[in-house]
Structure 1
């Protein structure tokens, strides 16, 4: 049995959904146990859509057949494939474009404090966000500025494989990538575009589970985790905020999605006093005993 005994209760599927309550419970429990993400009942239609390709490749005709194989528990790769398929990997180049200019400001401020800046893109999906940052900072480096370290992580090995390959469809390219950057940083062939090696080497991609793993080594000046926390339970969010507080420098900044906030979610962060829409550590102890926000 894959679902943990303490799995959160799941509301019945939305009206019109073809997914039974038991099936929704099964997939929701599996996804939450592995990644902390939940499937809202009103989004139960995503299960059919997300798993269609996997079921076709496996020769399965119904979700019940897939559930039976998962409950059997002997096909570990199958469970991994299901989790990968169910993860929300929505992303695009330069999503919420003004944020990127503010990240540049934050990095410049870190550099003025005398160290090489470090950026962590947590939940990077197929890599468009860190690649967008790499373009900005590579062009800035051509003018003589230091190049920050950019670490991008995701729980999905499949998403990371695509990110490392740096290969995107015409549809993905058209979602937010300016033509100037396309011509400067990509090679096109057969309807797809591949990031040039000079840009690809500027981002480090690693597998990391925000729920289960310790934060990456070292301290970061900026952490971006956009449109990930909204899929997590309140308890899981608290743990992730703790991870971010531990990973940030005392004067570091956290960036969330446009529809996300720390207000009412955690006491570890507060709105930044310098950059609108960013968050800084509060004066409360982190897990290592340090006072967040202390210098």
Structure 2
């Protein structure tokens, strides 16, 4: 792969997925896209770049983007964001939405589904508190391949051992051969949809709680700012945004502000009320 080929592939990936790659990530491109070459019987990465330049292989374009997508996730990852949901956000919004009894949650970049399913299990454990409520969990990801796995809710032994308490495994999963499948009751609580975060998501509507964790780290600064601004637009006025531990809005956007108490939690920035003119006529 020549330097021009690498530059083209980086530009292609940024335009399609927002992924920002630097020269030190060249080994990652060669490793992951080498498997795409083998899948499509393409001899090398230079020829792969040539095929992509034609713009006539949508299947190849999709495979390249999905191969470069990082799908690292596990149940109750980092724990704190789920404690926040159970102990802070759920009580807050149950009080704030008592008149409508409706709550919308969005898990962006949901990968293979462990994050939204973790929230769905927490809701099930709080069933008496949310009885009669309409609670929607929308989970999106750019990769259709991981979304299919998420919809199936089928995980291997290693995946269910990562972060999932044994009590929840026994309560919500059924063993299927050497895998475990999450119950239909929990799967029914999550609506999985394909979505590219660098494109418009206004059609999803407004959300009260948004989880967008560990995806902004792969974007450059302008892309982060754009996505955060549009996330703010997709939040209700008192909505909550949770980012990953290595992510922040500080220095990137003024549309969102950190919660003063809870780390990793953000809300819409309260704009100061405009100063009203008293309209007094000048004396002569």
- In structure 2, relative to structure 1, the CA distance for the partners of 1:217 and 1:58 (3 Å cut) is closer
What is the match of residue 254 of structure 1? 241
CA contact (8 A) 2:34 2:45 kept: no
Structure 2: gaps spanning 5 or more residues: 275-284
Q: How do residues 59-208 of structure 1 correspond to structure 2 at under 5 angstroms?
A: 59-104=41-86, 105-113=88-96, 114=98, 115-141=101-127, 143-146=128-131, 148-208=135-195
Partners of 1:52 and 1:192 lie apart in 2 by: 29
Q: State the alpha-carbon separation in 2 of the partners of residues 188 and 167 from structure 1.
A: 9
Q: CA deviation at 1:281?
A: 0.7
Report the structure number with the largest CA radius of gyration.
2
Q: For 1:213, what is the secondary structure of its paired residue?
A: coil
CA distance in 1, matches of 2:56, 2:198: 24
Compared CA separation, residues 192 and 153, structure 1 to 2 (3 A): same
> Do the aligned residues in 1 keep the contact of 2:208 with 2:240 (CA within 8 Å)?
yes
Separation of aligned partners in 2, 1:58 and 1:180: 44
Q: Show CA shifts across 1:73-116 (max 9, x none).
A: 32111111111111122111111012101012212211111232
SS of corresponding position for 1:88: coil
Residues 168-189 of structure 1: per-residue CA shift (max 9 Å, x gap): 2222222222221111112222
Where does structure 1 lack aligned partners over 5 or more consecutive residues? 1-18
Q: Residue 137 of structure 1: SS of its match in structure 2?
A: helix
The alpha-carbon deviation at position 41 of structure 1 amounts to 2.5
TM-score, length basis structure 2: 0.87
RMSD across aligned C-alpha pairs, in angstroms?
2.1
Q: Which moved more, 1:115-124 or 1:37-46?
A: 37-46
SS in 2 for 1:212: coil
Residue 278 of structure 2 aligns with which residue?
none
Aligned to 1:45: 27
Q: Is the 8 A contact 1:187 1:195 kept in 2?
A: yes
TM-score by length of 1: 0.84
Aligned residues: 268
SS at 2:202 equivalent: coil
